[in-house]
Structures are given as structure tokens and as C-alpha cells.
Homo-oligomer: A and B are copies of this chain.
């Protein structure tokens, strides 16, 4: 029940129709008796810098969940950017720090990695390909690097985004072999679709599925369907995979800690969201 004392978590992105977080956080708040609510706010890119500043001046603001297309833009608008978000060059969570400052972190990559590890896969020493170097792809790449992959290949048609990410990865992880410019998925232990391809019906597949070995583990970030056309195709090839919502649920415990809420497990959160 929303009331005058309810703390507000602004869920900032555009468009909003596919937002999932309100249906995860709000049942958790209700179950724990926490007087807070996640509210979708469809903020367009042109308005984002001004709106972010003003929404954090509201007296009942608690924080913001940031999603497309604002994850990269957020970094430049904050007073403090946590290390993972700095390497990723993107933020998906913002809260108030001392003196009304804005503090941001990035949990997409952490959620992705937690999900892969929970499925028993080994990331230390692995060879990974991340297709898509926007906010979520950068976050996944940053967290894969931190998890100890030996080689990381990046592809994005937006060359400056791809090169910027490669540069930050090389600077922070000098032992990591970073390559750029090819989306060919042959020869990798892990390949990830971190593009929006699959959100719209009729989107092309993000990479050449015929070149993915059946032993390759496949990650997906798109959540328009549990099994996207890309995952359907890799399943037909015999690949094991992780769905987009695994990344989402696996990262929420880290978010809860960041926002100062009591802990919950991904399974518990899935259960509350489904009830």
C-alpha cells in the first residue's frame, strides 16, 4: 500500500512496457513490510540528465534503477562511480550518498556471472565472446574479466563503444587478452548476446548460430521472452544456456545491499514475483 511515507525507487528507462523490476521488488517490499515502491518512469534520453538530478531532490526518493537507454549516460552524471561501474562505463543503480551526492554502481555483470557460476560453469581461464558493448554488455565484460576469464572478444557495430570498453578492460586487467571486431562465435567457451536483438519480432539473430559449438555455454540478456529466438536456435544445436531473467534475479541481492534493504535469495525473489 503506497502512502505519504513511502520511499520511492525511480525505475528510469524508455520505453517502459517491458520493465520487469516492479514485479520483483514490489512483492518483496510487501512481503517484508518495507514501505518502499519501484515506479516505472519513461524518461527519454533528451530529458534524462535534468530529470535524474530533480528526481533525486524529491524528499521521499530512495534510489533509482537505471535501464536502457540511460546506463552509459548515467556515469557522467554522478558524484561517485563504484569500480565495477567505472570499468563497465555504465551504471544501473543510483542512490544518495553523503551531502546529497549521487553514488552509482552496476550489477548486470555481477548478476550474469553469479548465474553462470551457479550453473556449475568455470569462468577462470575461459575464453568468452560478448556481442554488444552497450551498458549491459560492458557490465558483463567487466564482470567476466573480474571473474578471471583468460580471453575476452568484443563486438559492437558502434565502434567507439567497443573500443572504449576494450581500452578500459586492458587498463584494469593487463593480463587479459582482449580482442575486438568479430562476432564469430567459433572457438569460445562462453558467448553472450548483449545486444537488444530479440526484443522485437523479426530481429535478426545477434551472431551466426551455426558457428557455435555444442559445448559452448550461451548467455542471453534479452527478456522479451524466456526463450528468445537466439536461445531457441542454440538449444537446437545442443548448447547449455542462461536466460535473461537469470541475470536479473541473480543481481537483485547485490542491489538490495546497495540500497540498504534486508537480503533475499534469487529463488525467494522469483517465488515472490510469481505469487
> What mask results when residues 1 to 27 of chain A are scored 1 for a CB within 8 Å of chain B, else 0?
111111010000011111110110010
Bound together, the chains give a CA A39 to CA B62 distance in angstroms of 13
Report yes or no: B5 in contact with A16, Cβ–Cβ below 8 A: yes
A22 in contact with B50 given A8-B39, A59-B44 (CB within 8 Å): no
Closest B residue to A54 by CB, please name it.
B51
Q: Please tell me if A121 contacts chain B, counting CB pairs below 8 Å.
A: no
Chain B residues in 8 Å Cβ range of A47: 54, 57
Closest B residue to A51 by CB, please name it.
B54
Chain B residues in 8 Å Cβ range of A6: 22, 40
How many residues of chain A have a CB within 8 Å of chain B?
35
Report yes or no: A4 in contact with B18, Cβ–Cβ below 8 A: yes
Bound together, the chains give a CA A1 to CA B23 distance in angstroms of 7
Q: Please tell me if A101 contacts chain B, counting CB pairs below 8 Å.
A: no
Report yes or no: B1 in contact with A26, Cβ–Cβ below 8 A: yes
Chain B residues in 8 Å Cβ range of A3: 19, 22-23, 40
Q: Please tell me if A38 contacts chain B, counting CB pairs below 8 Å.
A: yes
Q: Please tell me if A42 contacts chain B, counting CB pairs below 8 Å.
A: yes
Bound together, the chains give a CA A67 to CA B108 distance in angstroms of 38
Q: Please tell me if A41 contacts chain B, counting CB pairs below 8 Å.
A: yes
CB distance from A92 to the nearest CB of B (A): 16
Option from B20, B39, B42 in Cβ contact (under 8 Å) with A59: B42
Bound together, the chains give a CA A145 to CA B247 distance in angstroms of 61
Residues of A within 8 A of B (CB): 1-6, 8, 14-20, 22-23, 26, 37-44, 47, 50-51, 54-55, 57-61
- Please give 12 more A-B residue pairs, beta carbons under 8 A apart, in addition to A8-B41, A37-B39, A51-B57: A1-B23, A2-B23, A2-B26, A2-B37, A2-B38, A4-B40, A8-B39, A16-B60, A39-B39, A41-B60, A47-B54, A51-B58
Between A and B, 18 residue pairs with Cβ closer than 8 Å are A2-B23, A2-B26, A3-B19, A3-B23, A4-B16, A4-B20, A5-B16, A8-B39, A16-B60, A39-B39, A41-B60, A42-B59, A42-B61, A43-B59, A44-B57, A47-B54, A47-B57, A51-B57
